[in-house]
Amino acid sequence: MNKLLMMAFIVFMLILSGCTNETGEADGGNVEAQQKQVQETDSNQTIDEDPRLYDFEKKNSIVTFYITISDKNDTSFYELNNWYSIHNSNSKSPKLDITIQEGTEEGIEDGLFGFDETDVNASIELRGKSTRIAAQKSFKIKLYDSAGLWKGQKTLNLNKHPYDATRVRNKLSFDYFTLIPNLTSMRTQFVHLYVKDLTDKNTNGKFVDYGLYTHIEQGNERFLASHGLDSNGNLYKAAFFEFYRYPDQLKLESDPLFNKDEFETILENKGSNDHRKLIDMLDDVNNYSLNINDVVEQHFDRENYLTWIATNILMGNRDVITQNFYLYSPSNSEKWYFLPWDYDGAWRSSSTIEEHTKTPEWQNGLSNYWGSVLHKRFFKDPKNVDDLTKKIEELSSIINPENTKKLLDEYYPVVSKFVKRSPDKDHLDIDISDYKDVYFGMVRESEVNKEIYYKNLEKPMPFFLDYHIEGKQNVFSWDASYDIQGDDIFYTLQISTDPAFTQIVHEKKDMIETTYTLDQLEKGTYYWRVIAKDTKGNEQMAFDELDEDGIVYFGVKKFSVN
């Protein structure tokens, strides 16, 4: 039974049971009941995932794993943990042989996974990008064939989330996805990890408490099969992908110039090796002679597409433009579906004592998607923006402060226990006395993000800057901005001798052109920016950013005159 059928059934049963209070308003009920009210009249469930898969674990359950690092490894576990402090950043960290066993807080327990294992049954390696240099590492564990499967899974992704003081942002997101029509989720699980490192003679053969992790299911052919999807279909994980054609990297495997490593700098292949559908879709997306609505109708599922964008906006997940999503297409379909991945950077729009990475204003709301050729073309149609707005309002009946609070309340007894003790409290980037405020500070995030969406929708869209020299002239150019409401846009160009623009040496205001030529600059280093403004006074900066002595300046580029 798919999500829509379950939704309709529950709504029907609620009606039969008289689910109104004395004022005639619908009773709040639980998260699942409210979810079923969405899209009651939509008879087409676009991606037919079987949601019963998520019913076998409580959202706050915790599994205890015991890992023994084999003393036969050539690399020590210490070196693996500190690989990118010892070795070059472009080097590949190794895999170590381990024995993984399941147990309880009292130890490895008879009858649980690997309890009677006497030999290595898995490998362990570092996972993540920015987290590779964090004090607390995240790990990928791959079970060997001899080990069998753990809950139908061969790969365990143990995430420490060192930059998330709450430790629950990713899990919160994927527990929400189990309730949302037109999207898949992935199984998540709190994990308490113990490690016995036999490559270190000083451990005395004892297990060391590594604290709390969160496992998330790996997207692969086994994932597709487990979720009732087509395991023979195409599945790609975005590595650096903005829906351009990338002809030098994305080739058919029959092409003599095909290079798997080059291909996977753009998209990591997790499914079929037949890339014809992918290339056909990208050819059409980048063919400006085709109507983009026709392209989306042919190659994408519109409801899935809008739902994915809307959930990202409500959850405040900004890091989804080039990475952190999958593209899936069943083998007997032309349609592509967005599948979510990695949301530990979400739920961060509210101001709290927790340190957040500074981001430009354009990364909030629809403007965040303007650097992708697909999203930019699609949302230049005001009707599609209206449909996105409707989808955001529709999903707000699921993703809202009330339901967020219920989920956070469910996790809190488990998570708070770990963050208040070593080793996790020793690496928390906030004072433990502030933890509860930061944790429950996420409750209103979806409302905050929706308010930001509406506010930023009034602004012109961001654009890219370009500078070059023609003869003795300095030529400044930029892409045309775009205003969703159709307002006229004017540009102000500023040139300064400092990146903070306290020493502006040239300024040209209220231009309608997107090119400006200047020849009277003296030798030296300069910084320039363009501000787009509509007739209502709403302003937007460029996509470009500059890192100068560790300080990031948004919307700024640097050039030199010799």
Single-letter amino acid code for the residue at 247 = P
pLDDT of residue 128: 85
- Asked if 517 and 541 sit in the same domain, the reply is yes
Residue-level pLDDT at 3: 54
Residue 539 sits at φ, ψ, to 5 deg, of -115, 155
Separation of alpha carbons 313 and 449, rounded Å: 6
Indicate whether 542 belongs to any domain: yes
75: number of Cβ within 10 Å:
14
d(CA 185, CA 203) in angstroms, rounded, equals 39
Identify whether residues 105 and 187 lie together within a single domain. yes
Query: What token pair was written down for 245?
Result: 């054609």
Per-residue pLDDT in tens (0 to 9) along the chain, 562 residues: 455 444 444 334 433 444 434 333 334 445 454 443 444 333 344 787 888 899 888 999 999 999 999 999 999 999 999 999 999 988 999 999 999 999 999 999 999 999 999 999 999 999 988 788 899 999 999 999 999 999 999 999 999 999 999 999 999 999 999 999 999 999 999 999 999 999 998 878 899 999 999 999 999 999 999 999 999 999 999 999 999 999 999 999 999 999 999 999 999 999 999 999 999 999 999 999 999 999 999 999 999 999 999 999 999 999 999 999 999 999 999 999 999 999 999 999 877 777 767 889 999 999 999 999 999 999 999 999 999 999 999 999 999 999 999 999 999 999 999 999 999 999 998 999 999 999 999 999 999 999 999 999 999 999 999 999 998 899 999 999 999 999 999 999 999 999 999 999 999 999 999 999 998 889 999 999 999 999 999 999 999 999 999 999 999 999 999 8
Residues 31 and 62 grouped into a single domain:
no
Helix (H) or strand (E) holding 466: strand 465-470
Which DSSP letter does residue 20 get? B
Q: CA angle, 440 as apex, 435 and 442 as ends, to 5°? A: 115
Phi and psi angles of residue 380, each rounded to the nearest 5 degrees, phi first? -75, -15
Give the DSSP H or E segment for 551.
strand 551-554
pLDDT (0 to 100) of residue 352: 72
For residue 482, which of 529, 530, 528, 532 has the smallest C-alpha distance?
532
For residues 19 and 122, state if they share a domain: no
Q: Are residues 86 and 64 in the same domain?
A: yes
In a domain? residue 396: no
- Domain final residue pick, 166, 192, 216: 216
Q: By the 8 A CB rule, do 66 and 103 touch?
A: yes
Asked if residues 274 and 234 have their Cβ atoms less than 8 Å apart, the reply is yes
Taking alpha carbons only, the member of 159, 158, 195, 161 closest to residue 77 is: 195
> Does residue 136 share a domain with residue 207?
yes
Q: Count the alpha carbons within 13 Å of 413 in the hemisphere toward its beta carbon.
A: 7
Q: Which residues is 506 bridged to in the sheet?
A: 495
- The predicted structure's pLDDT at residue 202: 84
Whether 491 is covered by a domain: the verdict is: yes
What the block records as the tokens of 441 is: 């500070």
429 and 442 in contact (C-beta within 8 Å)?
no
Q: Are residues 41 and 100 in the same domain?
A: no
Evaluate whether residue 257 is within a structural domain: no
d(CA 453, CA 530): 23
Using N-to-C axis directions, what is the helix angle for 302-315 and 382-395, rounded to 10°?
A: 60
Residue 36 lies in a domain: yes
Residues 6 or more apart in contact with residue 539 via CB below 8 angstroms: 459, 460, 531, 532, 533
Indicate if 483 and 534 belong to the same structural domain: yes
SS3 200: coil
Please check whether residues 476 and 545 belong to one and the same domain: yes
Tell me which residue has tokens 């056909």. Answer: 280
> Is 229 within the bounds of a domain?
no
**Residue 473 sits in a domain of what CATH number?**
2.60.40.10
| Same domain (yes/no): 22, 131 | no
Rounded-to-integer distance, Cα 444 and Cα 447, Å: 5
For every residue of 308-368, DSSP letters joined together read: HHHHHHHHT----SSSSEEEEE-TT-S-BEEEE---TT-S--S--SS------GGGSGGGG
List helix spans (H) across 178-273. 221-226, 260-263
Q: Token pair 């015991």 is at which residue?
A: 66
Distances (CA, A) of 536 to 130, 358, 458, 486: 40, 27, 9, 11
For residues 31 and 177, membership in a common domain is answered with: no
Answer whether residue 169 is part of any domain: yes
- pLDDT at residue 8 in the model: 45
Site of tokens 């280093």 = 525
Q: Do the domain assignments include residue 247?
A: no
DSSP state of 26: B
Residues 119 and 13 in one domain: no
Structure tokens at 45: 């469930």
Domain count, the chain: 3
Long-range contacts of 272-281 (CB under 8 A, 24+ apart): 272/232, 272/233, 272/234, 272/235, 272/331, 274/234, 275/234, 275/250, 275/251, 276/252, 277/234, 277/329, 277/334, 277/336, 278/234, 278/236, 278/250, 278/327, 278/329, 279/245, 279/250, 279/252, 281/336
Among 216, 244, 276, give the residue marking a domain's end. 216
Own/partner pairs for 406-412, CB < 8 Å, 24+ apart?
406/30, 406/31, 407/31, 407/59, 407/172, 407/175, 407/176, 408/168, 408/172, 408/439, 408/440, 408/442, 408/443, 410/59, 410/60, 411/59, 411/60, 411/168, 411/171, 411/172, 411/190, 412/439
* Burial of 55 per CB tally in 10 Å (0-12, 13-18, 19+): exposed
Spatial distance between the Cα atoms of 537 and 247, rounded to a whole number of angstroms: 41
The range of the structural domain enclosing residue 197 comes to: 56-216
> Could you tell me the two tokens for 281?
């879709």
- Cα(442)–Cα(448) distance, integer angstroms: 10
